Amino acid sequence: MAATTDVELGLPQDGYPALANWIAADPDSETFIFRKFNRLAARNLLYLQSELCTLEGSLEKLDSQIGKDRSLKMSARMWEMLVEKAEDNNRPEWEWMELRRDIKDKLKEYHEALILQSSIANLSTPRASVLRRFEDWFRGGARGSQYCIISGQAQGILDDVDDLATLKLVGEEDMLSRFVQDHWPLKGRPGAHTKGNTRYFHLRHAAATVAMISTIVAALELIGAILGLYFVTDRGARLAMIAAFAVLFGLSLRLLTNARRAEIFGASAAYAAVLVVFVSSDLGQPQPS
């Protein structure tokens, strides 16, 4: 039976349609990687800031005239008077009102730009493994091509890694989770609307695997420590074993969880205390035969 081609399936072969389909095919949306344009954003904020500085200087200049004109004092104190006097475009109040409108519009634009840039600055950086696969497909390697999927200025969007962000909200992941995600052993499924050799798997499968490994390690650390301390009777050896198990427990917390340093210290101390209590009790003493 002849193989079905991408053209027969109606799949996009090139350009933005193919790239968009490849990005959207990831079930966990980790491939939603885009540029932040940090330099342009900074330039835009600087320009807006400078415009507001100029408007602020103009307002201060108008405010300095209040002491020279008695009617301006009333306008400065009473909004209704300011509105009434501003109808005469030969009066300073008219300039005040025009300047107020300019400040209002420009200040709104500036503050919105600040808030948006703050949100963009908090976007997560893409995982290295995902970025490598994205770049491999984007450049053509995973598609069996020597050409970039798009051309023009936009083909350099991946050149600056520090300027890239993923729209996928990435929480604090432990080392084991990152390792399992980067070295997922199963083949995965191909994209339904993409071409090339990219395979996909759900992050929830990796999370379930990590949870199972963590549970097994936690059980082994507790049971192994109890059995070891039960059969060893030498006090010096027991103290050394408690110290070793506490260190091993702290390392496992660091590798298998996203616990903070204070939490690791507290949990390790509690773990060591449990072992000490076990050793000092009758349960920790082997019974004579």
pLDDT at 4 over 50: no
pLDDT at 53: 95
SS3 of the chain: CCCCCHHHHCCCCCHHHHHHHHHHCCCCCCCCEEECCHHHHHHHHHHHHHHHHHHHHHHHHHHCCHHHCHHHHHHHHCHHHHHHHCCCCCCHHHHHHHHHHHHHHHHHHHHHHHHHHHHHHCCECCCHHHHHHHHHHHHCHHHCCCCCCCCCHHHHCCCCHHHEEECCCCCCCCHHHHHHHHCCCCCCEECCCCCCCCEECCHHHHHHHHHHHHHHHHHHHHHHHHHHHHHCCCHHHHHHHHHHHHHHHHHHHHHHCCCCHHHHHHHHHHHHHHHHHHHHCHHHCCCCC
Among 193, 191, 197, CA closest to 143? 197
Give the model confidence (pLDDT) of 50-80 as tens digits.
999 999 999 888 888 776 777 778 778 888 8
Residue 261: what pLDDT? 81
pTM as predicted? 0.62
Q: Where are the domains of the chain?
A: 11-36+124-201, 38-121, 205-284
Contacts of residue 73, defined as CB under 8 A and 6 or more positions apart, other chains included, come to 66, 67
Confidence label for 144 from pLDDT (cuts 50, 70 and 90): confident
- How many percent of the chain have pLDDT more than 70? 80
- pLDDT of residue 200 exceeding 60: no
